Amino acid sequence: MIYAGHYGRLDLAADELEQLIQQPNQPARLVVHWLNLLADLQIRCGSDYQTVAHTLQRIIDRDPNLAAAEVARNRLALLKLELKSKEKSQSVALGSYEQNIGLKQRSTHQF
- Which residue in 14, 53, 58, 13 sits closest to 32, CA to CA? 58
**Per-residue pLDDT, 11:** 93
**Per-residue pLDDT, 89:** 55
Contact call for residues 3 and 13 (beta carbons, < 8 A): yes
Is 86 or 44 the better-scoring residue by pLDDT?
44
Report the C-alpha gap between 107 and 62 in whole angstroms. Answer: 78
**Model pLDDT for residues 36-67, shown as the tens digit of each residue:** 999 999 998 888 899 999 999 999 999 899 89
Rounded average pLDDT over 27-39:
95
Contact call for residues 52 and 14 (beta carbons, < 8 A): no
Q: Each residue of 32-51: b (16+ CB within 10 Å) or e?
A: bbbbbbbbebbbebebeeeb
Report the C-alpha gap between 18 and 34 in whole angstroms. Answer: 8
Domain spans of the chain, in order of start? 2-86
Share of the chain above pLDDT 90, in %: 54
Is 73 or 100 the better-scoring residue by pLDDT?
73
